[in-house]
Chain A
Amino acid sequence: DTGVSQDPRHKITKRGQNVTFRCDPISEHNRLYWYRQTLGQGPEFLTYFQNEAQLEKSRLLSDRFSAERPKGSFSTLEIQRTEQGDSAMYLCASSSPREEQYFGPGTRLTVT
């Protein structure tokens, strides 16, 4: 399978715990995006990497959120001290410059 993969697909955690999600993009894509989608809404941009450099972050990305792409391949998104408002689908997408973005299956986070 050469598509975008995300792990885990589902995560249930208690409020206050830390969680980490992983995204493996399509191997030749140098651009990687994280989006968040709450129930009944369209996705919203969180952050963007070009190779290993994080070039843009949304205001939605509070200081409890951190994302990395250490070798310009896979990326991780960590949420510290989770809150119930963090419950959402976290989507990863990758692309080449000026090409369409390909989405992973998403990680559904539920904070109880």
Chain B
Amino acid sequence: KNEVEQSPQNLTAQEGEFITINCSYSVGISALHWLQQHPGGGIVSLFMLSSGKKKHGRLIATINIQEKHSSLHITASHPRDSAVYICAARLIQGAQKLVFGQGTRLTINP
């Protein structure tokens, strides 16, 4: 079992729909990152959170430390939101390296 699990692996929706991507982790973390990766490979950090909820535009990220679970929500989805969304757990120990989920490929159709 991977230390960071995401679901679903693939998600296709129509423009305007409310999107939820889930992330569960089994390791001790100092923070949980949500990242966006477009074709071509570049990774952009969307959120880093260690408790509660953060909002940026149409994106909302929540984390429940007790349940070791985080969600990324997209409201009023748009085709330009199509990308791979990756959650990554920043470990408490040592290098504080990131342990990544396998990613969720999101496709928003017009």
A67 contacts across to B, CB distance below 8 A: none
Known contacts A41-B102, A42-B103, A100-B48; A33/B97 CB under 8 A? yes
Cα separation A106 to B100 with both chains bound (whole Å): 16
Summarize A's interface: helix, strand, loop or mixed: strand
Q: Are A42 and B102 closer than 8 Å at their CB atoms?
A: yes
- Contact bitstring B26-69, A, C-beta under 8 A = 1, else 0: 00001101010000111111001000000000000000000000
Q: Are B41 and A108 closer than 8 Å at their CB atoms?
A: yes
B88 contacts across to A, CB distance below 8 A: 42-43
Question: Looking at chain A, what size class is its interface with the partner chain?
Answer: 20 to 34
Q: Are A42 and B100 closer than 8 Å at their CB atoms?
A: yes
Among candidates B33, B43, B100, residue contacting A44 with C-beta atoms closer than 8 Å: B100
Q: Are B95 and A48 closer than 8 Å at their CB atoms?
A: yes
A105 contacts across to B, CB distance below 8 A: 40-42
Interface size on B, residues (CB 8 A): 25
Shortest A6–chain B CB gap in Å is 10
B95 contacts across to A, CB distance below 8 A: 31, 33, 45, 48, 50, 55-56
A31 contacts across to B, CB distance below 8 A: 95-96
Let me know if B94 is at the binding interface, CB within 8 A: yes
Top 3 nearest A-B pairs (CB, nearest first) are A42-B100, A48-B95, A103-B43
Among candidates A40, A41, A45, A102, residue contacting B97 with C-beta atoms closer than 8 Å: A45
Let me know if B86 is at the binding interface, CB within 8 A: yes
- Contact bitstring B80-110, A, C-beta under 8 A = 1, else 0: 0000001010100011111111110000000
